[in-house]
Structure 1
Amino acid sequence: MNVSTGPDPRSGDGLDATAPGVVEFLTFTVAPHDQAEWLDADERIWTTFLRTRPGFVSKQTWTDRAHPDRVHAVIVWVDEASWKAIPSDALAAVDEAMGDWRRPLELHVYDIARST
């Protein structure tokens, strides 16, 4: 498991790019009263961008009942190589487009062991 709170841990962290599938699990802190607007911005900006990327499979966004100020983005990739192929300048531009809705994130990475 890789946990980072750095500026953009979504690229170049040296994880195994040969896994059969990878899940990018991002956690953001978003005040409950801001979540609807934040989710709209995330969908409009990040999800729209991710849908254009080769190897992108799906994205779900979860709210946390135990921690109402947390939002989790669960992004599934065909493989880590596809995820890591996104140029850092493209990531930075999309992140910048979030404007005031940009939030620090915590990253966990999971390999898909089995899927049914």
Structure 2
Amino acid sequence: MIIEWLKIKVSPELREKYIQKDEEIWTGTLSKSPGFMGKEVWINPQKADEVVLVIHWANREAWKNFPAAVLEETEQKFSQALGAGTYEIIEEGEYQVRKFPRPN
């Protein structure tokens, strides 16, 4: 499993709207994509202007083969819904999930 990790800066008064629109627009679109396994939204109680998105993909190919045209179209729709310039991706990363069996 691959994790796409995004840290977003959003104005505190728009944080809840950001989370709602992200679920409606981005997660709705991603959920139709082969290899998309789910998504978590993390909020930091100490930083009201921060949202972390943890997106689970079956493998790197599924993530990287997401169509660029759909990505652009979805971002435009999201930007219109939330307001251009009201959020910014400030950090991003890629992680592999490793699980080890627990000893009995």
**1:76 Cα offset (Å):** 0.5
Please provide the CA RMSD for this pair. Answer: 1.7
Q: Which has the larger radius of gyration?
A: 2
Change (3 A) 1:115 1:57: farther
Q: Calculate the TM-score normalised by the size of structure 1.
A: 0.76
**1:67 Cα offset (Å):** 2.3
1:74 counterpart residue number: 54
Aligned residues: 96
| Residue 43, structure 1, aligned to residue 43, structure 2 | no
**1:54 Cα offset (Å):** 0.3
**1:104 Cα offset (Å):** 2.3
| Residue 109, structure 1, aligned to residue 91, structure 2 | no
Give the residue type in structure 1 aligned to 2:98. A
2:43 counterpart residue number: 63
SS of residue in 1 equivalent to 2:48: coil
Equivalents in 2 of 1:115, 1:32: separation in Å?
A: 38
Percent of aligned pairs sharing the same letter: 27
Equivalents in 2 of 1:73, 1:81: separation in Å?
A: 19
Give the residue type in structure 1 aligned to 2:93. H
Once superposed, which parts of structure 1, at least 4 consecutive aligned residues long, lie more than 3 Å away? none
Larger proportion of helix: 2
Out of 49, 60, 84, which is 2:64 matched to? Answer: 84
**1:90 Cα offset (Å):** 0.9
Q: Calculate the TM-score normalised by the size of structure 2.
A: 0.84
Change (3 A) 1:103 1:115: farther
Q: Which structure 2 residue ranges, 5 or more long, are not aligned?
A: none
SS of residue in 1 equivalent to 2:76: helix
Equivalents in 1 of 2:100, 2:28: separation in Å?
A: 25
